[in-house]
Amino acid sequence: MKQKTKVKIKKIKQEIKQEIKEDFLNVPNMITLVRVVLSFFVVYMIFQGYSRLSIALVFGFAAATDCLDGYFARKLKQTSSIGARLDQVTDRLFTAIVAIALLIFFVKTNQGKILFLFIITSRELIGLPGFLIRIVRNKDTYKVKYIGKLTTFVQSVTIALLIYGVSWIIYPVIITGLIGIVSGVDYLRDSLK
């Protein structure tokens, strides 16, 4: 009996290693993970007083990895459910880490841009209850939709513009907020089904 259990455990370990090697340790997922690392680098740059342009450029490059990971996943035929979930979690983590850092920075420096951050992250604020509902109901929390991808793209552009400090930031903030509201409500509605 113990021998059979040991054989089963060994087989499961081998399957997990194989799955990690094939589905996790691939080019698209490594690109996705670079986005997380770069988010902390952006935070470092914010608090170390780097120029707005350099922070916006690094942020923009990090945000562009969201397109690159999907492109390479399709091009190299390395799409996986693990990769799709990792990408979505990384999108939210990337946005949250940078938004929290900017919030702290704006409070510290007395800049009146805090409301802009809340508007830009409207999808996350509205969608959070839906995410929690999905967890409680044990539903798939990672359903990818076009509106979600669009929101992520528009958020990234708007955050880069906010970091850079364009004088007309109110317009992209409003557009991002409206798209974010639609996306957040859509996610919340799906969660309640």
Q: What's residue 76's pLDDT?
A: 87
41 dihedral zone (left: phi>0; alpha: psi -120 to 50; beta):
alpha
189-192 long-range Cβ contacts below 8 angstroms, 24+ apart: 189/130, 190/130, 190/143, 191/129, 191/130, 191/131, 191/133, 191/134, 191/137, 191/139, 192/130, 192/133
pLDDT at 86: 83
Which residue range is the domain that position 146 belongs to?
A: 2-192
pLDDT for 22 equals 59
134 CB-near residues (< 8 Å, 6+ apart):
140, 141, 191
Q: In CATH, what number is assigned to the domain containing residue 139?
A: 1.20.120.1760
pTM exceeds 0.75 for this model? yes
Taking only the tens of pLDDT, the chain with its 193 residues reads: 567 777 777 777 666 666 555 566 788 889 999 999 999 999 999 999 999 999 999 999 999 998 888 888 889 888 877 787 788 888 888 999 999 999 999 999 888 899 999 999 999 898 888 877 877 877 765 566 788 889 999 999 999 999 999 999 999 999 999 999 999 998 888 888 7
Count of the separate structural domains present in the chain: 1
